[in-house]
Amino acid sequence: MTQETVGFAALGIHPNVLAAIVAVGYEEPSPIQAQSIPLILEGHDMIGQAQTGTGKTAAFLISIITQLLQTPPPKERYMGEPRALIIAPTRELVVQIAKDAAALTKYTGLNVMTFVGGMDFDKQLKQLEARFCDILVATPGRLLDFNQRGEVHLDMVEVMVLDEADRMLDMGFIHDVKKVLAKLPPKRQNLLFSATFSKDIVDLANKL
């Protein structure tokens, strides 16, 4: 192990994720990563107050990928059943998260998929039919579309992330988000990230 990975290595991250961290060139965990990764790995629900640029995306991705590798998938598994669900307010953010997830899952064999509005529906459907879905990154509206058509089932989700929750509410997605939450199994881990904490965000966090 190189000197650079000592900080990350002390956090309990799976070796195959550590290898990817070295490959993407992160040398030291950022403060939010050092604080949140051990808590998430212990299975706690978490609320993180974090702006873009703090490394919050890698914080939840590194933790989720480690957990997926440490917990074997259910024996009976079907296509279209994600184990981890990440909901973000915009297409750009979904694409960025999925890009980071692809880099961090490089040595794991886990599959990352995305659903966003304004992109070819059939193409997004095809990825679901081709492989198991380990991590699904989606905007709330498109996720509901796929769910209502019976293409994606949310009852096997083990961990759910609401990223940029304040923007999600500002953009009027609260009803979609609540509909998605109602489809998730009651036993799951919840992670919520938001730059600001209005009463609505606190209410949403309490609901989780």
Sites of contact with ligand AMP (CB under 6 A): 26, 28-30, 33, 52-58
Between 36 and 124, CB nearer to ligand AMP: 36
Between 85 and 156, CB nearer to ligand AMP: 85
**Spatial contact of 141 and 177, defined as CB atoms under 8 Å apart:** no
Between 33 and 114, CB nearer to ligand AMP: 33
CA-closest candidate to residue 137, choices 196, 171, 97, 193? 97
Within 8 A by CB and 6+ apart from 137, the residues are: 86, 88, 94, 97, 98, 101, 112, 113, 114, 115
- Report, in Å, the least distance between residue 118 CB and ligand AMP: 22
- Report, in Å, the least distance between residue 139 CB and ligand AMP: 17
- Report, in Å, the least distance between residue 144 CB and ligand AMP: 25
**Spatial contact of 41 and 63, defined as CB atoms under 8 Å apart:** yes
Structure tokens at 187: 């036993």
Q: How far apart are CA 109 and CA 174, in angstroms?
A: 34
Between 56 and 83, CB nearer to ligand AMP: 56
- Report, in Å, the least distance between residue 39 CB and ligand AMP: 17
User: Exposed e or buried b for every residue in 158-182, given b needs 16+ CB within 10 A?
Assistant: bbbbbbbbbbbbeeebbebbebbbe
Between 137 and 154, CB nearer to ligand AMP: 137
- Report, in Å, the least distance between residue 177 CB and ligand AMP: 20
